[in-house]
Homo-oligomer: A and B are copies of this chain.
């Protein structure tokens, strides 16, 4: 049997477009004599549809779409993903299902058993878990068809059932798994390891189809694959773009044409590619194409500008340079040089005058109180207002340039430099931003060297340096990673060789600043634990603070 994996980019709720894409691929596949074509999890409605699933109207549109797609499945079988109503009076009203379409109708429905409900996942919010297990027969081949998480209970068992254990009782010959598995910079290895372990454990080959594209903060990196019954990787589809591949199943799996391909990107390259996809998709799916950001002369805004140019084209990205009286001369020079290197338009708007006017108007209340955080934040907020002015007048979405280290400790101004429609690098610690900048410069200077080598500064008061308020980033990031990614407590982190006082101070800052992060723009997720929907912490809690 010839089987095609179709790795497509879907748009949540855009049924017309999703159906058009799926039907288009079915037609091509049929012409290519493909017998079975497989699309990813919830492909009909896009993933994750979130609370749209609570709308009867949305579910009806899913059903209409499936009927429409099925009508094209004559002489070919297709597997698509969509929600399925639970007809039992008990339990949640939906299943997350795979629909096998054949002869113009739905031939089988397979329901997802293991519903991820951690980190960014909320599937048990909507779906009832499946408890009945049946293989499906397609063109005489006995297929164990599962959905994403169903194959992930193999290492540290988070669930009390294991769908493949149940399905093995019916002697399947081939595993097919449809997925919507979001990117993090280690996730390719995790996927290959877990999926191979399944092949190995059950002695079956596997075809795996992932989603590609991004949905707000979640980046789906594709990388669909075929693995043989010993756990050996046979072929990977493209990462970060749509792709397809056909396999002949005849006891084993064989790539129909071309050479097997395996991804060899470095971690930093993956992060780059994922972020560029994430930015491009946010604009594309919202129907915008122009961005604006503030260039401070620092590394964060330089890296974001570079990524935005990659994603949107230099003609679609403009910047504002907004020096204050505390800005160093090089902050403008470096920003101008960066803009010239990248070919992007910039405007220089000094904020001295506005700053003085605000101080004058606030003076009846402020009186003779000393210059402090209020005046520092004021400068950041004036810049935020100017950027939003450009955004409102010309339709450019503001890109936020915060990094994960400053998000973590609240070293940023809410309604100031925290503004933006999308936060591009706020899932990269400052040390990782440097890594990315150096990688960007690997073939020559794109980001001026001075931006990379100078000491980081917010430049909101005379001679300010980040290191006045924070430890060196190498130390800060180490503590943050132990707390945020590894969920270690203060005693454990101190035992790794940091001063107890410093650890307590940093953890306290992280927890105190939850109120700021609540209002942060969505952050493109590239790690296993990004701020945002994947990390849910009480604002008024009093834990370690």
Q: Give A residues with C-beta under 8 Å from B.
A: 11-14, 17, 46, 48-52, 54-58, 60, 89-92, 117-118, 122, 124-125, 157-160, 214-216, 281-282, 285-286, 347, 349, 351, 353-354, 357-358, 361-362, 364-366, 369, 372-374, 377-378, 381-382, 384-386, 388-390, 392-393, 414-415, 419, 421, 487-492, 515, 518-522, 533, 535-544
Contacts and interface: CB of A to CB of B under 8 A. Distances in A.
A509 to B, nearest CB: 15
A237 to B, nearest CB: 23
Given A89-B157, A90-B157, A519-B519, A46 B124 contact: no
A540 B492 contact: no
Given A415-B415, A490-B57, A543-B58, A52 B385 contact: no
Given A122-B125, A362-B389, 5 more contacts: A46-B541, A50-B538, A90-B157, A351-B361, A365-B393
Given A91-B157, A377-B392, A361 B353 contact: yes
Contacts of A487: 54-56
Nearest 9 A/B pairs, CB to CB: A57-B489, A13-B543, A374-B392, A285-B540, A12-B541, A14-B542, A374-B393, A13-B541, A216-B539
A382 B388 CA distance: 12
A56 B536 CA distance: 16
Given A490-B57, A540-B286, A535 B385 contact: no
A281 B521 CA distance: 26
Nearest to A46: B541
A378 B385 contact: yes
B393 A366 contact: yes
Nearest to A483: B55
Nearest to A118: B125
A491 B216 contact: no
A347 B378 CA distance: 19
A358 B389 contact: yes
A353 B358 CA distance: 9
Contact of A12 (B14, B51, B56, B538): B538
Nearest to A287: B542
A11 to B, nearest CB: 5
A48 B538 contact: yes
Contact of A489 (B55, B89, B216, B372): B55
Contacts of A515: 286, 421
A538 B89 contact: no
Nearest to A521: B519
Contacts of A490: 57
